[in-house]
Amino acid sequence: FTINDTRFGLHVYPNPFSEYIEITSVSNIESISITDLTGKILMRQNSLNKDRIVVSLSDFKAGLYFILINTGESKSVHRIIKQ
């Protein structure tokens, strides 16, 4: 399953994931944050400035998380699931 956010040209996959997620965008991705259901930030990556990134999440426990993606032009939040 792939999250396709056509409003912002974002793709987040695979979802659900087991080891990593890949994010692609038509705009440069400036930063990402991953939170748990309570809003606690578990990971943050800044100053990325790439249109494609791969994020290793193998240390995360199985469950539901949210990823905030900032492209500078837009911010979007997506639900991701660790198997």
Q: Is the pLDDT of residue 1 over 60?
A: no
Looking at residues 24-51, what average pLDDT do you find? 95
Looking at residues 24-50, what average pLDDT do you find? 95
Whole-angstrom CA distances from 30 to 17, 18, 81 are 22, 24, 23
Q: Is the pLDDT of residue 26 over 70?
A: yes
Task: Give dist(CA 64, CA 47) in Å, integer.
Answer: 25
pTM of the model: 0.88
The pLDDT-based confidence of 73 (bands split at 50, 70, 90) is: confident
